[in-house]
Amino acid sequence: MIRGDGLVRIRNVILILVVCVAIRGMVHPAAAFDTAVPKGPVNLEANTVTYDSEKDNYTATGDVEITFEGGYLKADAVEYNRTTGDAAAEGNVVIMHNKDLLYGDSGHFNLTSKTGDVDNGRLFFEKNHFYLTGTKIEKTGEASYFLRDATASTCDGELPDWRFTGKELNVTVDGYGTLKHGTFQVKNWPLIYLPYVIFPAKTTRQSGLLYPRIAYSSDKHGWDVGIPFYWAMSDNADATFYQRYMDKRGFQEGVEFRYCISEDSFGTFYGEFLNDSRAQGISDENEDPLQREWTDNQHRWSYYLNHETTFSPGFYFRTDIIKISDVWYFRDFDDYNYYLDHYDESGTKRFDKVSFLADKSITSLESTARLVKNWDMYNVTTLVQYTDNLQSYSNDSTLQKYPEVTVTGVTQPIAGTPFNYALTSQYDYYYRTEGYRGHYFDMHPIVSLPLRYRDYFRITPQVGVRETSWDSAHSKESTPGKRGYRELYDLGATASTEIHRIFNIGGESVQMIRHGIQTDITYAYIPYVYQGDRADYVDVVSEENTITYSLTNTLIARLADEEGNRSYNEFFRLKLSQIYDLKEARRSTTAGTRDRRPFGPVDMELNVDPFKYLSFYADASFDVNAGEWKETNYDATVSDWRGDSLTLEYRYTQKTLEEINLNLKACITDALQFNYMLRKNEFDKKVLETLYSIDYTSQCWAVQLTYTDTPDDRKFMIIMSLYGLGKVGRAEAKPENIRRRE
């Protein structure tokens, strides 16, 4: 139980963290504002205008408007001296430049020196929807400001939801600022006093604290607080330091270093270290086949390096190197870690290229370095790969590739003939400390002949030859190595035909529907070849004599919008397929042997996507011999125009898995959203994960409350955001701008 004074201390710590992060970026939008009149024509309009030629002075009254390139100045009265550039404005002063606005009761400006001041002023920056006010706002230089009795907020209204206040505020755009005698307020209620704060106010990238992460885990970590610090090192490099404290484990130090040598050469390095004070007895040893025998203060660490250099189009080098201290690492830190936060399966993000899902279900880690060269018809890849087996204490028997070279030729015509040619070939040197290791070579050219009868029938027969050789040695000198080769051929043919009909619906949005039925038949034959003398790292090529047939039904709608633009939507697709084993059909049966079963399972794939608020996907496999479902998977999503959605997933694999996943999102109001997730293992009658989340989003702030319950942990987390302050953005294209604040 936490005492009352402890709760007060926790509240104050949270407020200090939020305020420190927020105040560091509060003048960032000021970069967009410049009261100086740009070079170009200046026009003055007013109800009354007089001119003193001796003083070169204009006096304008009544709805005065001075327009210039990129903005204007409005006031009830203005005196402007063209010689000195001094302008004095009185009454309802408004200056607009690049969509940013400065208001005041009165003001004095020098358009030559770009300095001046306004009384009872208010600055509004459109880019970040940011407000600054002060009883006196002085523009002391081209990019510097001084505010007296200042306030800062991104909230609309006379009484903002939150704001910062200060007796004095000095700031230089793209430099630094100071706030003296300030407070952080909620609805005019001061929550914390800020006697003196120095903060960066850079318009490009800013060094400083990022938003903290605060959570409580009852079983694994206890109080879990992370305070990242961002360092803009140079135009082409930056670093983020991740300081994380878990009161049941200790301090975890992490650093991310990102660099961009040029547009075509960039990378990310990340490393972390923890002297784990709770390394022993933190998992269910009854279900963990790997028993822990650790002492306290176990050193635990990880590092990751991703680098990519493109030498020319289609020719690049890439590394993905990952190492962890122990096989339990991601089991203990699967709720949150750097790798989960930067996971991107597509690999399209320049600095978020973690391709593995680092949760407790991960079974292995692969570190690779590859050199790839692509041509129009060929590809050559050289690969070095090290694999960490996370299901074993030792990695001695795990095969490593030092190196692997593959040459692939896509299907292409043989010059001057109707025949096509394709090639796959591979060389490996497999290494491991225990077991067989050595050379492996495989080459598999294929020649095919595509034939077509009009638009009704297509058939492509093919023949391939496969040559495999190996030369291995054993880690034990007493065990002889294995050397050998394997030669075989394979035959096959693929035939397909399709019939279709188009139905003219004549609707305003759905004009036509095309119904297509496609039949595919594939024959594959591989003869029996003895392979008992192969090294264990050589894959078995099984004998095959099969026919695979499939039937695919599709419905495609031609749609039209209000402007007559056409689009197409395949809203229904059903594919049924099955394998018939000719070898099994001809197998002789004697007493004591089972009956022939040449028919394989019937596989089904179904996609239904009639409109944007409903989708359904299913794949299943039915064993016709046993009359049972071997595998079924269903995904259904229903949503509406408000953003409410319900997703139901069902996973079933015979004698192995039965899982139900439910995701619910309810938009209670425009600002309030409720989320619920349930993952249940019906096979073992266990709830794998339950999550409740409430998100409240206001015009200028948001809060998220999350509670997660898993078999090995219970976690509560609060995330607060003040919009427009310290928000992180990532520049993906320009080397000179790796990361910037928005």
Residue 198: the pLDDT is 66
Residue 296: the pLDDT is 65
Residue type, 638: V
Residue 253: the pLDDT is 94
Q: Within the chain, how many helices (H) and strands (E) appear?
A: 4, 42
Residue 197: the pLDDT is 67
Place 209 in a pLDDT band, splitting at 50, 70 and 90.
low
Higher pLDDT, 292 or 216: 216
Share of the chain above pLDDT 70, in %: 85
Instruction: Please report where in the chains the tokens 């009830």 appear, as a residue.
Output: 76
Q: Span 614-622, mean pLDDT?
A: 96
Nearest residue to 350 via CA among 303, 305, 307: 307
Q: Span 629-637, mean pLDDT?
A: 96
Do 672 and 696 meet the contact criterion of CB atoms below 8 Å apart? Answer: yes
What separation in angstroms does the CA of 525 have from each of 149, 239, 500, 539, 603? Answer: 86, 57, 32, 18, 21
Which range has highest mean pLDDT (37-41, 351-355, 541-545, 681-685)? 541-545
Residue 473: the pLDDT is 95
484-516 pLDDT tens trace: 999 999 999 999 999 999 999 988 889 999 999
Q: How far apart are CA 391 and CA 331, in angstroms?
A: 12
Q: Span 245-254, mean pLDDT?
A: 92
Question: What would you measure as the largest C-alpha separation in the chain, in angstroms?
Answer: 125
Residue 563: the pLDDT is 84
In sequence order, the β-bridge partners of residue 267 are: 259, 307
Residue 413, number of CB atoms within 10 A of its CB:
12
- Which of 151-165, 239-253, 623-637 is the least confident region? 151-165
Residue 183: the pLDDT is 86
Residue 128: the pLDDT is 63
Q: Span 699-728, mean pLDDT?
A: 78
Q: 23-201: which CATH architecture?
A: Sandwich (2.60)
Higher pLDDT, 231 or 576: 576
442-457 pLDDT tens trace: 999 999 999 998 888 9
Nearest residue to 658 via CA among 666, 667, 649: 649
Average per-residue pLDDT in the chain?
84
Do 715 and 707 meet the contact criterion of CB atoms below 8 Å apart? Answer: yes
Residue 622: the pLDDT is 97
Share of the chain above pLDDT 90, in %: 50
Residue 31: the pLDDT is 33
Place 28 in a pLDDT band, splitting at 50, 70 and 90.
very low
273-317 pLDDT tens trace: 999 987 654 444 445 566 676 666 789 999 999 999 999 999 999
Q: Span 55-70, mean pLDDT?
A: 84
CA atoms within 13 A on the CB side of 156: 4
In sequence order, the β-bridge partners of residue 580 are: 547, 599
Residue 492: the pLDDT is 96
Higher pLDDT, 649 or 286: 649
Residue 571 has pLDDT above 90, yes or no: yes
Residue 236 has pLDDT above 50, yes or no: yes
Q: How far is CA 164 from the centre of its chain?
A: 33
Residue 38: the pLDDT is 41
Residue 726: the pLDDT is 43
- Residue 394, exposed/middle/buried by CB under 10 A (0-12, 13-18, 19+)? exposed
Residue 528 has pLDDT above 80, yes or no: yes
Residue 265 has pLDDT above 50, yes or no: yes
- Which of 149-158, 496-505, 585-594 is the least confident region? 585-594
Place 270 in a pLDDT band, splitting at 50, 70 and 90.
very high
Residue 98: the pLDDT is 66
Element (H, E) at 18: helix 4-23
Residue 187: the pLDDT is 85
DSSP structure string for 630-658:
EEEEEEEEEE-TTS-EEEEEEEEETTTEE
Nearest residue to 30 via CA among 135, 113, 134: 134
- Residue 265, exposed/middle/buried by CB under 10 A (0-12, 13-18, 19+)? middle
Domain assignments of the chain as residue spans, ordered by start:
23-201, 204-209+224-285+295-388, 396-586
Instruction: Please report where in the chains the tokens 């408000």 appear, as a residue.
Output: 642
Give pTM, 2 decimals: 0.74
Which range has highest mean pLDDT (219-223, 351-355, 614-618)? 614-618
Residue 5 has pLDDT above 50, yes or no: no
Residue 562, number of CB atoms within 10 A of its CB:
7
Q: How far is CA 156 from the centre of its chain?
A: 32
Q: Span 74-92, mean pLDDT?
A: 87
Residue 249 has pLDDT above 50, yes or no: yes
339-391 pLDDT tens trace: 988 888 777 778 888 888 888 889 999 999 999 999 999 999 999 999 999 98
Do 485 and 468 meet the contact criterion of CB atoms below 8 Å apart? Answer: yes
Q: What one-character DSSP code corresponds to residue 394?
A: -
394-443 pLDDT tens trace: 899 999 999 999 999 999 999 889 999 999 999 999 999 999 999 999 99
107-152 pLDDT tens trace: 887 766 777 789 999 888 776 677 888 999 888 876 677 889 988 8
Residue 104 has pLDDT above 50, yes or no: yes
* SS3 letters across 150-165: EEEECCCCCCCCEEEE
Residue 625 has pLDDT above 60, yes or no: yes
Q: How far apart are CA 131 and CA 153, in angstroms?
A: 5
Q: How far apart are CA 86 and CA 78, in angstroms?
A: 10
Tokens representing residue 69 in the block: 């390139």
